[in-house]
Structure formats: C-alpha cells, structure tokens
A = this chain, B = another copy of it.
C-alpha cells in the first residue's frame, strides 16, 4: 500500500549507499527534481543511476552527479548540449558509463518488472554495444540476449496520484516513469497533486498503485 509522505526528505529516507537508482525523465520532462534534490540531501553515495540521459544543466540528476554520489551511469544518451557535468566527470575518470540503446533500456526494465528472465531482440546486433553478448538466429535474423535491469529504488515524476498510489502522467513527461515503477524494489513518486481514491478515472490510470510505495506532492 502506498504511503503518502509529507516531504520529499521523508519519501527518500533509507536509500542505501551502493544502491541502483532508476531516475525517470527524458531530459527535464518527467525528471523528479524534488526527489533528486532530497536524495542529495539524504547523502546516499556510490550509486548506480539508470536514466535516459546523464543529467541536463545543473539541476536534478546533474546536481546528483556534481555532488559526487554516482559511481556509474547506465543511459542511452549522455552527450548533449547541456551535459557538461557528466562530461567533466567522465573525462576526469570519475564516473563510469554503460551505454544502452533506448529501447533496450526500456525493455530491460520492463523485463525486470514483468518476471522475464531474459529476452532476445535484434537491436544492436553486430555493433559495439552487443559485443560479448550471447546471440541466436531466430527467423533468419541475429538476435542479442538481453537481461533485466532492476532498481533498488525508482525515483519518478507523475502528474497526479490518488491515496492508493494510482498514477496519471502529463503528455511526454510520462516517458520512463511507468516502466521504472515496475522495475524497482521501492518506487518513490513525486506528483503535482494527491487526490482521493475514486477521483482518477479507472480506465485512465497509467501506473496502478500496486507498483507504488511512496508518494509526495512537491
């Protein structure tokens, strides 16, 4: 059952050093900035962060990186006009990078949430990013074996939650939130508003409350 927290600090309590943290957002759309700020304050270090990007500008994920708390970033698109924090750390050898095609990033987290032990897919076959991975010919096409990506914690942003943890999102800010919510042991959500059960249309709930552990309006 989802717990509704009063503060972002309460929501991120207990994240341990060495955790794998899934961080939602595509650039800043859907980035749970208040939760990431609270995590910086909370102090967990030696983190592996899984996110589409490696931080934009100086806020959110970029600030967590700048604070030196992240050992490794697993992402699809680290290099952008405003990814100077990551680039500086990476060039200085202070942060590890695992580059994963965006579809594999999403599907590997879905697999973690859906009880799929591994899956075959053609993305990246024959490229550097599949080097060393097991392959198999299926229907005449080379497929690469991919394993789930699980989080100890997911920090995601959504638009509204009800008190049972059901979530709806807004436009393309939906992006990785619903997938990460299924893939982490503890899913923590930042929303604009918490409403009573029965307020959200049951046909339109995107993330059912079963996947949500903590919610904070921030």
Interface residues of A (CB under 8 A from B): 107, 111, 114-123, 136, 138-139, 141, 143, 147, 168-171, 201-204, 206
Residues of chain B within 8 A of A141, CB atoms compared: 117
Most interface-central of A111, A121, A123 (chain B CB within 10 A) = A121
Complex contact B117–A120 (CB within 8 A):
yes
- CB-based contact B122/A143 at 8 Å: no
Q: Offer 5 A-B interface pairs, CB within 8 angstroms, sorted by A.
A: A115-B123, A117-B119, A117-B120, A118-B119, A171-B203
Q: In the assembled complex, how far is the CB of residue A87 from the closest CB belonging to chain B, in whole angstroms?
A: 32
Q: Contact between A139 and B122 (Cβ–Cβ < 8 Å)? A: no
Inside 8 A of A203's CB, which chain B residues have their CB?
Answer: 168-171, 204, 206
Could you say which residues of chain B place their CB within 8 Å of the CB of A111?
119
**Other-chain contact of A117, B136, B168, B169 (Cβ < 8 Å):** B136
Quick one: closest B residue to A103, CB to CB?
B115
CB neighbours (8 Å) of A143 from chain B are 117-118
Query: Distance (Å) between the CB of A10 and the closest chain B CB?
Result: 29
- Assess whether A122 is in contact with B117, with CB atoms less than 8 Å apart: yes
On chain B, the residues within 8 Å of A138 by CB distance are 117-118, 147
A114-B118 CB under 8 A given contacts A204-B201, A204-B204: no
- Chain B CB count within 10 A is highest, among A119, A123, A141, A147, for A119
Which among A115, A141, A147, A170 has the highest number of chain B CB atoms within 10 Å?
A: A115
Cβ of A204 to closest chain B Cβ, rounded Å: 4
* Closest CB pairs A-B (n = 3): A117-B138, A117-B120, A117-B143
Q: Which residues of B contact A147 (CB under 8 A)?
A: 138
Query: Please, which residues of chain B bring their CB within 8 A of the CB of A115?
Result: 121-123
Partner of A116, one of B117, B120, B169: B120
